[in-house]
Amino acid sequence: MQNRIPVIEKIMSANDRLAAENRAALDAAGVLAFNIMASPGAGKTSLIEQTVQRLKGKLRLAVIDGDIATSLDADRAAAAGATQSIQINTGGECHLDAVMVAQALPQLQLDQIDLLIVENVGNLVCPATFALGTHYRVLVASIPEGDDKPYKYPGSYREIDALVINKMDLLPYVPFRLDYFRQGVAMLNPGVASFPLSCLTGEGMEAWLVWLVEAQQRFKSAR
């Protein structure tokens, strides 16, 4: 174990340095980037589809999709209207890291993008550990997952900038205590921006889109 800890620290340090380089490249190009994380089936891809469709013509959105295999998610993003879409296949890794994102960025025409969405691999543990160089971390939770997830996976909720609670249309049919869930989130991340919504019905989507647009406007005005 003593030998393993320095190795892990070295890996994380190298990842953080490369994440900083990714951030610098995005800043130089004027591209605001979001790391979207969630467990499998929470609705990351559906959220990205809806976001791309609804902001088409307002912002130029590109998507980097991370998955263990296939290009299905990148294909869905492109079909929804993403100006550019790239798939990263991790080959079994349960998360994206800064190296993978650094390899993907040169494939994008950054000068033609306003906002970049990075869809991480479906996992509630590993993605929270690895910085990618994005400006915001967003976690997508969903009603069918259960209301205990902030208590079971505190690391995933502690460092996020925004929380999307998806599939609110199922709330009447699933034993999910919204107050209990929010209490757990508040203990870990007080005041985090929260967006209860349904990608299926569109309920609550407007507040999420306004937050994205305002974040991009603040980013642009600060340059």
Could you give the angle at the alpha carbon of 61 between the alpha carbons of 53 and 74, nearest 5°?
A: 75
pLDDT at residue 79 tops 90: no
Q: Which two tokens stand for residue 217?
A: 């406007």
In CATH terms, the fold of domain 4-222 is Rossmann fold (3.40.50)
Each residue's pLDDT tens digit, 106-161: 999 999 999 999 999 989 888 888 999 999 999 999 999 999 999 999 999 999 99
Q: What is the reported pLDDT for 6?
A: 56
Q: What is the reported pLDDT for 59?
A: 95
Asked if residues 138 and 28 have their Cβ atoms less than 8 Å apart, the reply is: no
pLDDT at residue 11 tops 90: no
Tell how far CA 101 is from the center of its chain. 13
Each residue's pLDDT tens digit, 42-56: 999 999 999 999 999
Q: Bigger pLDDT: 11 or 183?
A: 183
Each residue's pLDDT tens digit, 164-204: 999 999 999 999 999 999 999 999 999 999 999 999 999 99
pLDDT range class, residue 4, cuts 50, 70, 90? low
Q: Are strands 84-89 and 32-38 parallel, antiparallel or unpaired?
A: unpaired
Which residue ranges make up each domain of the chain?
Answer: 4-222
Which residues, at least 6 apart from 62, have a Cβ–Cβ distance to it below 8 Å?
31, 82, 83, 84, 85, 86, 108, 113, 115, 116, 117
Residue 76's H or E segment, with its range, is helix 72-80
Q: What is the reported pLDDT for 13?
A: 82
Q: Is the dihedral angle over the CA atoms 182, 199, 60, 108 positive or is it negative?
A: positive
